[in-house]
Every structure is written in structure tokens, then in C-alpha cells.
């Protein structure tokens, strides 16, 4: 695909001290639509024609790639995007809610309906924005169906259990609905979620014709979106961010490799009280009382492509393991090596959950609209910075967050962000 290469890359390093917010007047902000296509790896558009997404590069901003947080999983990553907090701070540490006493696990879609999984004292942008007078909505977006401190998102649609991921007609209808929300009901901020290309990536694998076909379907949908924005007269007052939660890699299987199978090294019945395994590249174990050392010692050098940590020793740069929901033993595989427990479920041909430093886990960031630069190829950045960017676009004062300081009041980490906005906010 075509990417503008002649423009200088405007990587701006800013400090909090150099930042003077511009006073806001009433209605000085534009509307914002955030669309997430689950599991859209950063380079999925490079081996297939995507004329509509290519056109957006000329009309807006493209990051070379976006780094999601660890664990590279749907609900945790989406909640970092919408809160600007690391996973260990916002507490949505897995797609599945679980209870180590009852041994219950709730599916991804079940968990969408459980406020107690999402509401851990960190407010997502929907709630913060509506408390500051914005009208907000979530269309299938992870976390949008929960209540936060008793407060629901103004309008929220949850995916049904039988919802098909890949119905192109429904994709277009959803865009039409969202356009009506903006034009007829004056919503200011809407998040819209699609379950592809994640589903195809899992079922068929990322390096397949099926995946290329679904990317073309997404591209047609982006074309439909651009037309709908023009038809509805929103071109000059709607900003759009198109992003995703993680990438996808091909699952490595025998006879090409020796797969990771934990039951080859530990007796589950004797040692394990509860576990979350068989869920892609990442797993956790709660040992039976007094069995932590046994499990750790049995697993730590068990497989050359398996990383095993005690909770306290998990690498800090992942900003993942400090939350109380994290179980005592954490495991992740090298890219493509799924963490299998008692036996191997040969379902997924592609998966994620692996180290977010691996290029196959990187994802996309595109943006266009009145407040974005045009024809701008941005350096890669972390998805945690999307939150302060959204706050700035909506004219909303952010909650404390872990994103870039120049846009808010991040309390950790380095301060840098690709300057994506066309406006200069006094910095």
C-alpha cells in the first residue's frame, strides 16, 4: 500500500511544564467516533488491496503501528484504551471474569454484563465525558455495558450471544445507526466495535486467504463510513479514530515444534487449585496451599519457549502483575506457542496474548477529521496515549492516567507522544 514518506516525522517530546492548556469556550470541540476492529494486526493491509484505508492515510494520520498493553487480549486492551490506565491499575486483567473459590469462569460475552469485573475505581472516558456534559454511547465496545460507580453509559448496546462477527450488511447498518446518533440525537462521543478480523484470525489463521478477504470487507466498510459521514454532513465536525486491541500470530503445532503442554510437567490434581490456561499465549495458576514452589520449580525450565514467573517477579515493564486479581504464577509463551494445560485443544490456528513487544502483536492506529493532520505518517506509539488524545479532542478534563503528560496528568512513565492533532494546544 502507499504511505507518504516525504513528510518529516513530527515526533514531539514535551514536558508537562511546557504545556499550557488553552481555555475552552462552549462547544469548541468536535464530535468523536472511535472504531475498533478486533485483532487487526498492524500489517494486515500490506498484502491485500485496501483502497479506502489507503485514501484515509492521505486524508489523515496513520501510525506506523500501535503497541497494545500486555496482556494482548481484547477486554484488558480495550479498557486501557478507554481509560488510559495500565491493566494492573484498571483491573480488567482478562477477557473472562473468574472466581477462585467457586471455580467459576465467565465467557467474554458473559463478562461484558458483569459490572463487578469492570468497575474497579477507574472511570472510562464515557463516564468522565458525560459527567462533563458530553453525550456518549457505546456500540458493542468492551466495557461499555457496565455501570461505573452506579452510572451507566448514556446509550449502550451489548453484543448478543449469537451475534455474527462477519455480517457485512449488519456492519453497514451499525454505521447508519451511529450516524443517526450523531445527527438526530446529538451524541458527542461514540465507540463502535467489530469482532473481526479477530475471529477469522483465530479460526483460519492470520496468513490465509480468509483473512485477506475479511480485510477487504473491512476496507469496504471504511469506504461506506466515509460516504456516510459526508452524506450526513458530519465531515467538518466529526473526528474518527480507527484502531484495534492486538495483533495475531500463527499457532505453532506439531510436528513442526514441540508444543507447550503443562500436564507433561505437573500433576494438576495434586498441585493446582484453579487455573486460567488454554487461552492463547498467556495463562495463570493458583496453586493448592503450599504447592507454589513445586509448580514453579517444575515449570520454570520445562519448555524452551515458555516463560514462567511468580507474581512478584513478573517484569515490571508490562505494568500487568500488580493487581490483586493476578494469580500467583504467570506463564506466557514465545510468539505462536500457546500455553496448553491438561490437553491441547486444536481449535485456534491463530492466537494472541503474547509479549506486546513482538511485531505480530502490534496493531493499528488511523485517524481523520477536522482536528487531525493530513497525510501524516506518525511514529509508533503505545495505545495508552489514545485516552489523553480523546480527552483533548472532546474538550474533556481527563482522570489521572498513565498516558502522555502533555495532554493531561499522567502519573507514570516517560512523556512523549506523536503530535497527531492539527490544532496546537498551547504546547
Q: Looking at the annotation, which residues are catalytic?
A: 74
Cβ of residue 346: shortest distance to Zn ion, in angstroms?
17
Spatial contact of 149 and 119, defined as CB atoms under 8 Å apart: yes
Minimum distance of Zn ion from residue 43's CB (angstroms): 17
Q: Report the first-to-last Cα separation within the chain, whole angstroms.
A: 33
Q: Closer to Zn ion by CB, 352 or 366: give it.
A: 352
Q: Minimum CB separation from Zn ion for residue 280, in Å?
A: 7
Main-chain phi, psi angles of 361, to 5 degrees: -90, -5
* CB-closest chain residue to Zn ion: 198
The continuous run of DSSP H or E covering 337 comes out as none
Residue at grid coordinates 493532520: 373
Cell representation of residue 68:
497494545
One character per residue 196-235, x = contact with Zn ion (rule: CB under 5 A): --x-------------------------------------
Residue 66 belongs to what H/E stretch? strand 66-67
Q: Is the separation of the CB atoms in 246 and 39 below 8 Å?
A: yes
- Stretches 42-50, 178-186, 193-201, 318-326: which one binds Zn ion (CB under 5 A)? 193-201
Distance of closest approach, residue 231 Cβ to Zn ion, in angstroms: 33
Closest C-alpha to 72, from 409, 353, 417: 353
For Zn ion, the closer CB: 70 or 181: 70
How big is the site for Zn ion, counted in residues (CB under 5 A)? 1
Shortest Cβ 165–Zn ion spacing (Å): 10
Cα 303 to Cα 307: distance, rounded to the nearest angstrom = 8
Please report, for residues 98, 272, 316, 318, the alpha-carbon distance to residue 328 in angstroms, rounded to integers and kept in the order given: 15, 11, 15, 16
**Three-class SS of residue 221?**
helix
Pick the stretch among 45-53, 192-200, 358-366, 388-396 that binds Zn ion (CB under 5 A).
Answer: 192-200
User: Closer CB to Zn ion, residue 89 or residue 198?
Assistant: 198
Distance between CA atoms of residues 55 and 50, nearest Å: 9
Determine contact, residues 15/405, Cβ cutoff 8 Å.
yes
361, 334, 387: which is closest to 67 by C-alpha?
Answer: 361
Q: Which is nearer to Zn ion, 52 or 112 (CB)?
A: 112
Q: Which is nearer to Zn ion, 198 or 382 (CB)?
A: 198
Contact positions vs Zn ion (CB under 5 A): 198
Amino acid at each position: 500500500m502507499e504511505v507518504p514518506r516525504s513528510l518529516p516525522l513530527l515526533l514531539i517530546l514535551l514536558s508537562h511544564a511546557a504545556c499550557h492548556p488553552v481555555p475552552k469556550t462552549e462547544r469548541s470541540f468536535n464530535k468523536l467516533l472511535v472504531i475498533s476492529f478486533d485483532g487487526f494486526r498492524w500489517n494486515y493491509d500490506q498484502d491485500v488491496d485496501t483502497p479506502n484505508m489507503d485514501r484515509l492515510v492521505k486524508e489523515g494520520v496513520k501510525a506506523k503501528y500501535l503497541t497494545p498493553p500486555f496482556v494482548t487480549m481484547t477486554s484488558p486492551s480495550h479498557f486501557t484504551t478507554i481509560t488510559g490506565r495500565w491493566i494492573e491499575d484498571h483491573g480488567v486483567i482478562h477477557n473472562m471474569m473468574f472466581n477462585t473459590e467457586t471455580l467459576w469462569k465467565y465467557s467474554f460475552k458473559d463478562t461484558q454484563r458483569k459490572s463487578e469485573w469492570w468497575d474497579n475505581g477507574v472511570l472510562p472516558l464515557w463516564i468522565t465525558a458525560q459527567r462533563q456534559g458530553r453525550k456518549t454511547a457505546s456500540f458493542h465496545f468492551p466495557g461499555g455495558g457496565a455501570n461505573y460507580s452506579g452510572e451507566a453509559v448514556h446509550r449502550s448496546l451489548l453484543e448478543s450471544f449469537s451475534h455474527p462477527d462477519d455480517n457485512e450488511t449488519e456492519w453497514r447498518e451499525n454505521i447508519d445507526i451511529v450516524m443517526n446518533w450523531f445527527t438526530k440525537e446529538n451524541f458527542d462521543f461514540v465507540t463502535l466495535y467489530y469482532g473481526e478480523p479477530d475471529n477469522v484470525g483465530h479460526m483460519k489463521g492470520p496468513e490465509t486467504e480468509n483473512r485477506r478477504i475479511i480485510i477487504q470487507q473491512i476496507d469496504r466498510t471504511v469506504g461506506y463510513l466515509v460516504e456516510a459521514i459526508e452524506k450526513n454532513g458530519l465531515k467538518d465536525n466529526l473526528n474518527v479514530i480507527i484502531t484495534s486491541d492486538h495483533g495475531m500470530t500463527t499457532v505453532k503445532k506439531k510436528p513442526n515444534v514441540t508444543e507447550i503442554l503443562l500436564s507433561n510437567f505437573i500433576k494438576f490434581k495434586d498441585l493446582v487449585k484453579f487455573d486460567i490456561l488454554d487461552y492463547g499465549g498467556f495463562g495463570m495458576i493458583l496453586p493448592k496451599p503450599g504447592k507454589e514452589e513445586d509448580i514453579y520449580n517444575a515449570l520454570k525450565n520445562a519448555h524452551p519457549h515458555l516463560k514462567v514467573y511468580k507474581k512478584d517477579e513478573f517484569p515490571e515493564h508490562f505494568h500487568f502483575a500488580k493487581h490483586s486479581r493476578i494469580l500467583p504464577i504467570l506463564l506466557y509463551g514465545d510468539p505462536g506457542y500457546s500455553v496448553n494445560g491438561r490437553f491441547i485443544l486444536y481449535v485456534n490456528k491463530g492466537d494472541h496474548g503474547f509479549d506486546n513487544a513482538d511485531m505480530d502483536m502490534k496493531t493499528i492506529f488511523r485517524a481523520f477529521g477536522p482536528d487531525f493532520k493530513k497525510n501524516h505518517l506518525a511514529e509508533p506509539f503505545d495505545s495508552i496515549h489514545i485516552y489523553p488524545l480523546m480527552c483533548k479532542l472532546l474538550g474533556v478534563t481527563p482522570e489521572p492516567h498513565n498516558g502522555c503528560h502533555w495532554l493531561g496528568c499522567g502519573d507514570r512513565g516517560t512523556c512523549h507522544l506523536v503530535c497527531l492533532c492539527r490544532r496546537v494546544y498551547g504546547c
